[in-house]
Structure 1
Amino acid sequence: MALSVVIRAAAAFWIAAVLAVAMFRSGLYFDTAFYRIGMMLSAAGALAACGMAWRLARLKGRLSGERRKAALSHYAAAAGPLGVSALYALSLLRGPASWQATIEQGLRWSAYAGFLLVVLMFLEDGRFRLWLAASLQLAGALLAAGGLAGWFGWIQYPGMVMLSGDERLSATGARLGGFFQYPNMYGAAAGAFVLWQLALLVRERGIAASAWSACTAPFCFAAMLLTESRGAWLAFAAGWLAGLLLHRSEERLRWLACSGSLAAAGAIGYRLALAAGPGHAAAGYGEAASGGGIAGLWRSAPPGAEAALAVAALAIGGAALFGLNRKLAAVAAEGGGGAAAPDGRARSVAGERGDSLGAAAPGGRTRSVAGGRGDSAGATASGGRARSVAGERGDSLGAAAPGGRARSVAGERGDSAGATAPGGQAMSVSGGCGESAGAAGTPGESAAIAVPASRRLAAIAWPIFTIGFCIAFWTVWSAVEVRVEGEGRSGTAVARLAYYIDGWTLLKEAPLFGQGGGTWRALYASVQREPYVSGEVHNGYLNVALDLGAFGLAVFLAMLGVFLLRIGRRDAAMLAVPVVLLTHAAIDFDMSYGYYWILLFCWLALHSSSGRRRGGRRTNAVSKR
């Protein structure tokens, strides 16, 4: 499906508008705010389903088996939320605990299914991936900018900043909730955006994209810290650790270095924002502003100057992060990281003790020049022929295969071999010490070569990460220490445990199929053992089990599992982003927000959809230690 630029731009604008409206309307937590946008999403999904069915029927004889299978997989992916909606509808036949809540949940999930189907339909064109990523980037910028503007008092929105003199609720006296009016949900969303920006920086997709990610990441990180949500911080740590483990060796070092720089910049901006924001907030938010205590003391905080200083510090931190990332990319390229150049030209990469330099000639031809001890060079001539030149103490072999395929074998006391992949693509695998290999295929189909991280890159990454982490830990801990230490006595984690015990008791009354939507809100008072008032069980998975039982929870988890499995096969490192949202939902009620699902489905669709590349060609990278 070849979409015109106008159609792609219009679709991306529509997705960005949906995310913006969902955020501004309290994250679509309240059902009254969800009705209109929910009906629009359901209608859009129905039109998308009809359009995809008509296209498949019209092109039935012209679509290859693989392309037809990919198109049909979109229906299967959207069937997950639609199946959840159907289970809520079936609950009406058994007499649910709340008829209204059951109907509302069924409508919500049908709307999510419609939105997901629209996104997947446009992602059939691989070029739409960039447009969808741009929409998400805009959503992240609005999330951070809107929250910080409310913190500094530049805009007014009810509940944007939660003020409290109770140390059990806030150690600093104020917590940023953003347009969601809930700090925990806001912190989880901001943390997911931070990890997404980090992952994009590690991949170095272009100067403009890297500059945007580097500049927005510190603002998102500072916004996450201002929420003072320990659950969101823990979910962020889980996602960050997943990203560290799932990246490859060289990318892992860049992940560490960028994380250290980002942590230091965001933490410094956070402390400056603490001094700047609550004074504005105390003048216009809630009854706590007119009282004493911490909120009252912050009334005298000077406006303007400190807020500008905080913003400037975050901007400088973003610029430093961008410069660091560019330096890391240069070190990786010089010290052993190989990459495919634009237009299919390839370059070779050298090991530690035998350097080589690879450069691409026009028309996809590749040449490699080597020197020193045991160095080798393989270069392809026109017409797909290959030649190789060996150094002093290492033999090399270069040969051309049919169809422009080339391979070279070289080494100094440790051989390296290059082989070709199907379709004229070339790949190289190196080993030993002092290895180098150059290979080239047809234009646009050269393979990237990856070599283990160099010592020079590690020498930069580890000190930056260590220093940045220490700065961030000391800066944040000194502000929230009193609340963390008091958690064991009567904190919110203890209260959640009471919810979960009562929720389990309620689940045992209908373990297989649940009691319909709104079960917890309608029935928790009948089983509670301690005095509390909470309309949410603070666990999205337990809430689904209460509504739909074990069967519904299995369908729900299968829906998420299919997406995560597809992301793991395509780009496992990107699992760090949904890990934050899915982990935090286990300790809070994020899944009750419509914004949560719209954002999550955008990310899942973006990174699980393979998408046809322009011209149907792909670039492969093979690495070996």
Structure 2
Amino acid sequence: MARKTLHRNCGMMLIALVLVAGIRSGMFFDGDIYGVGASFGVLLLLMMGTKRHGEIQGQEIRGIGMMPGLVNLDKGLRVVLGCICGMILMYVLHAIGRPLSLEGTMKEIILWGSYGSFAAVAWRICREGDGLRMMQAGWHLMGAVLCGSALLAVYGLLELPYGIYHTADADISATGARLGGLLQYPNTFGAVMAAFLLERLFALPSVLRTRTGTLRAAAALLPLLPYTAALLLTESRGAWLAAALACAAGFAQERRAFAPLLVAAAAPLASAALLYRQLAEAKLAPAVLPGLLWLAGLWAGGVLAGLLLCRWRHSGGPWRRYAAPGALGAAALLAATAGAVILHQVQDRTLGGAATLSARRLMYSDAWQLARSSLWLGRGGETWRQSYLAIQSQPYVGAEVHSGYMDILLNAGLIGLLLVLVLVSFIVAGLIAVNSRLMPAAFVLIGHAAVDFDWSFGLVWLLLLWLTVMCFAAASSGREVQNGPIAAQRRKPFKIGKKLLAVYGGNRGYRPLLSLPLLRVTAIVLLGGWFLLAAALGISEVKERWAASEPSGPQIALLQSSLKWNPANTEAALNLADWLPPSQRIPLLKRSLVYAPNHPGLSWKLAEAYSLRGESEEAAAWYIAAIDRDRFNDVKQTRAVLKLAALADWHRTGGDPARSVEVARAGMDILMRYRALAVDFREMDDHRNDREFDLSMLAARQANRLGKMLNGEHEKHAARQPMKAEISARR
């Protein structure tokens, strides 16, 4: 009874935490990462510290209750946790060294620790039949929350400030609006909806049999329309393609399931296509009552039509031999009609979108050049975010590199990428080996991450691990529907693992290896340290957010407290610097630069602080450094020229002509580099200018001003005329 109670309570807490991760933007923002991550750590510590570990883990091997899931631990969890621990070790090594961002590196440690904690707890819970059913119910609840909240926002029944993305750019949206749901990003939300849709789609063969009750069959068909509609409303071509490939892989695995799936799912999918067209034409803002009636009618009609097609396929009588082909033909016609409706709605975006693809190519090219600088080990967490402004070949917008695998390569190098590839390859191979219906759902998450930054959302990794745990647990307990001899492929512990778990098991004088006090204490200390790190970073983030709504006095105190909890919090340092005089601002910014040496914002604030103090040489040096770290920022380029020109005037009026000339020369050098960059950019044959970079009129006018200080009054136009001849200013 105690064991069941503990499993039930831990399962409910685990599901609640993942629901929180989904509701909080998919665990994308730092504050959510630290809060949810620390909670996962608490849950794992709770299971490790239970006094009833002997009852929980079984009586065969005592003492292993300190680490959930290690009893009868099979190859699956060993590989999963091994790869996760390898990634944590990679980031720990970076944190000990000098990463591009210590805060970003620590964030990755928290993230991967969260994934490991979730996998360990979920695996232990799923080893019990009731726990597995609870996790399966939690999966459906997660899908209902994500999909239901998005559709309710479409009909105006739920307020999601960033749930719908509006744009007039036809390359981004064919209809002017895209659904992002709680994740606030349509592409990743589309991949997640595709995963839930495919999980339900490939669950149909085990439900829709000849003797299946009508209510049970209707319940099985019920989720198809909302998941499909949500997927279509994201207008994510990558998610659509990944879903199609994953669906094809699922049919290749279970060829006999194609006909019954097509017959059962064609009508709900066709209804979803009609719903998508109606909502897309309304730009995701339909009239509430007519829209809800249309939704209810299509939903009910799709389910009923699916049930009728299934019954037609299995009907008897004199026309029995024609029933199955007739139903299959009708289903194929419905599916083709649905495809035509969808393609007609988005044909311009589906066949176009060259600008988006060119941006991805530029980004991947720049990311590869950056990765080559530290190919084996990477540069730590947030490498792209800290570096892309300095290395981008054209002024595109992209604080996230649109490939999860490329992001891993930048952060952890080839070694980290190899660990991730081993992890995802093992997941896919394991799902295929047990003939799991969950394989397509996992495949779509793994595949879409190659072309977008899905893995920046912690929820995506949690869902992938959730699928893996449910699959292996169901296969182990015999609940997975399998064909032929594959059903005998139950997981067996490795002999080596047994030897490691129990040294001289028959001798009472020796205890299991993992029950040794030193290993027990080490495991607790490491997990406790990780939890404290997550808690400290979380408190720092909370104080920084609180400070934004406070007046100056309390805001300064909160920001200072935030930096005490996390000295590497660059956003808190930048916000605090705005409230401090230059004499206090400079030491603060220099301390922050130790933790993020390439941060463009810190360099810029430092240059501004030196200019306020009149230290022109230092200001010029930091202006150059800040511009080098954000090349295509014409606002910074212009302001740097203006500030240095003002400092040169100040030195000249103060009777220091030598320093005036030096500062003017530095300003002219920045201006000439700015002009040369603008010239080179304009001469590119095919370029994109998302940041609207160009030589500003205000900066161009400073050439005459700086020329006076360098060459004298009689040459007041000499420095300006060549610039006019070479390039015209934009403003």
* Cα drift, residue 312 of structure 1: 2.7
Given candidates 295, 303, 310, the residue that maps to 1:318 is: 303
Partner of residue 474, structure 1:
340
Q: How does 1:11-50 map to 2 (within 5 A)?
A: 11-49=10-48
Q: How does 1:115-514 map to 2 (within 5 A)?
A: 115-204=118-207, 207=213, 210-249=217-256, 251-275=257-281, 278-279=284-285, 302-325=287-310, 330=314, 459-460=325-326, 462-488=328-354, 490=355, 492-514=356-378
Asked whether the equivalents of residues 312 and 324 of structure 2 are also in contact (C-alpha less than 8 Å), the reply is no
With structure 2 as the length reference, what TM-score do the two structures score? 0.60
* Cα drift, residue 531 of structure 1: 1.2
Which amino acid is the alignment partner of residue 18 of structure 2? L
Deviations 1:303-332 (A, max 9, x none): 42123312431233134334544665x56x
Asked whether the equivalents of residues 266 and 335 of structure 2 are also in contact (C-alpha less than 8 Å), the reply is yes
The DSSP-based 3-state class of the residue aligned with 1:166 is coil
* Cα drift, residue 127 of structure 1: 4.0
The DSSP-based 3-state class of the residue aligned with 1:156 is coil
Matched, 1:586 2:443: no
Taking the aligned partners of 1:618 and 1:108, their CA distance within structure 2 comes to 30
Partner of residue 542, structure 1:
406
With structure 1 as the length reference, what TM-score do the two structures score? 0.70
Q: Check 1:458–1:509 CA distance in 2 against 1; reply closer, same or farther (3 A cut).
A: farther
Taking the aligned partners of 2:164 and 2:480, their CA distance within structure 1 comes to 47
Which amino acid is the alignment partner of residue 284 of structure 2? P
Q: Check 1:590–1:73 CA distance in 2 against 1; reply closer, same or farther (3 A cut).
A: closer
Matched, 1:595 2:459: yes
Taking the aligned partners of 1:327 and 1:118, their CA distance within structure 2 comes to 45
Of 542-551 and 572-581, more deviation after overlay is shown by 572-581
The DSSP-based 3-state class of the residue aligned with 1:316 is helix
Q: Percent identity?
A: 28
Taking the aligned partners of 1:304 and 1:598, their CA distance within structure 2 comes to 36
Taking the aligned partners of 1:325 and 1:577, their CA distance within structure 2 comes to 24
Taking the aligned partners of 1:227 and 1:31, their CA distance within structure 2 comes to 25
Q: Check 1:44–1:71 CA distance in 2 against 1; reply closer, same or farther (3 A cut).
A: farther
* Cα drift, residue 198 of structure 1: 0.7
Q: Check 1:612–1:487 CA distance in 2 against 1; reply closer, same or farther (3 A cut).
A: closer
Asked whether the equivalents of residues 507 and 545 of structure 1 are also in contact (C-alpha less than 8 Å), the reply is yes
Which amino acid is the alignment partner of residue 245 of structure 1? A
Q: Check 1:495–1:220 CA distance in 2 against 1; reply closer, same or farther (3 A cut).
A: same
Deviations 1:252-301 (A, max 9, x none): 22123234233212101212223456336xxxxxxxxxxxxxxxxxxxxx
Taking the aligned partners of 2:337 and 2:260, their CA distance within structure 1 comes to 19
Deviations 1:454-488 (A, max 9, x none): 97675146414421222112211221112223323
Taking the aligned partners of 1:474 and 1:618, their CA distance within structure 2 comes to 36
Deviations 1:564-611 (A, max 9, x none): 222222124431111111111111001000111111111111112246
Q: Which of the pair has the greater relative contact order for Cα pairs under 8 Å at 6+ separation? A: 1
Asked whether the equivalents of residues 262 and 317 of structure 1 are also in contact (C-alpha less than 8 Å), the reply is yes
Partner of residue 82, structure 2:
79
Query: Over aligned residues, Cα RMSD in angstroms?
Result: 3.1
Which amino acid is the alignment partner of residue 254 of structure 1? P
The structure whose residues are more often helix, as a share, is 2
* Cα drift, residue 533 of structure 1: 2.1
What are structure 2's unaligned runs of at least 5 residues?
Answer: 487-731
Which amino acid is the alignment partner of residue 46 of structure 1? L
Q: Check 1:152–1:123 CA distance in 2 against 1; reply closer, same or farther (3 A cut).
A: same
Matched, 1:622 2:484: yes
Taking the aligned partners of 2:15 and 2:303, their CA distance within structure 1 comes to 24
The DSSP-based 3-state class of the residue aligned with 1:278 is coil
Taking the aligned partners of 2:420 and 2:44, their CA distance within structure 1 comes to 20
Which amino acid is the alignment partner of residue 306 of structure 2? L
Q: Check 1:139–1:57 CA distance in 2 against 1; reply closer, same or farther (3 A cut).
A: closer
* Cα drift, residue 67 of structure 1: 10
Of 113-122 and 15-24, more deviation after overlay is shown by 15-24
Which amino acid is the alignment partner of residue 222 of structure 1? A
Taking the aligned partners of 1:617 and 1:311, their CA distance within structure 2 comes to 34
* Cα drift, residue 73 of structure 1: 5.2
Q: Check 1:194–1:456 CA distance in 2 against 1; reply closer, same or farther (3 A cut).
A: farther
What are structure 1's unaligned runs of at least 5 residues?
Answer: 281-301, 336-453
Q: Check 1:120–1:528 CA distance in 2 against 1; reply closer, same or farther (3 A cut).
A: same
The DSSP-based 3-state class of the residue aligned with 2:406 is helix
Asked whether the equivalents of residues 147 and 179 of structure 1 are also in contact (C-alpha less than 8 Å), the reply is yes
The DSSP-based 3-state class of the residue aligned with 2:168 is coil
Asked whether the equivalents of residues 404 and 451 of structure 2 are also in contact (C-alpha less than 8 Å), the reply is yes
Partner of residue 553, structure 1:
417
Asked whether the equivalents of residues 40 and 117 of structure 2 are also in contact (C-alpha less than 8 Å), the reply is yes
* Cα drift, residue 162 of structure 1: 0.7
Which amino acid is the alignment partner of residue 536 of structure 1? E
Q: Check 1:135–1:464 CA distance in 2 against 1; reply closer, same or farther (3 A cut).
A: farther
* Cα drift, residue 563 of structure 1: 2.2
Deviations 1:11-66 (A, max 9, x none): 44334322321121111110112221110112222344556975558532899xx9
4+ aligned runs moved over 6 Å, structure 1: 616-620
Q: Check 1:144–1:325 CA distance in 2 against 1; reply closer, same or farther (3 A cut).
A: farther
Q: Check 1:303–1:151 CA distance in 2 against 1; reply closer, same or farther (3 A cut).
A: same
Deviations 1:206-225 (A, max 9, x none): 65664333111111100110
Given candidates 98, 103, 116, the residue that maps to 2:101 is: 98
Taking the aligned partners of 1:76 and 1:482, their CA distance within structure 2 comes to 45
* Cα drift, residue 88 of structure 1: 1.0
Q: Check 1:17–1:620 CA distance in 2 against 1; reply closer, same or farther (3 A cut).
A: closer
The DSSP-based 3-state class of the residue aligned with 1:28 is coil
Of 26-35 and 46-55, more deviation after overlay is shown by 46-55
Instruction: From the CA coordinates, give the structure whose radius of gyration is larger.
Output: 2
The structure whose residues are more often strand, as a share, is 1
* Cα drift, residue 157 of structure 1: 1.4
The DSSP-based 3-state class of the residue aligned with 2:187 is helix
Taking the aligned partners of 1:209 and 1:588, their CA distance within structure 2 comes to 37
Partner of residue 60, structure 2:
59
Asked whether the equivalents of residues 232 and 276 of structure 2 are also in contact (C-alpha less than 8 Å), the reply is yes
Taking the aligned partners of 2:278 and 2:115, their CA distance within structure 1 comes to 39
Q: Check 1:83–1:478 CA distance in 2 against 1; reply closer, same or farther (3 A cut).
A: same
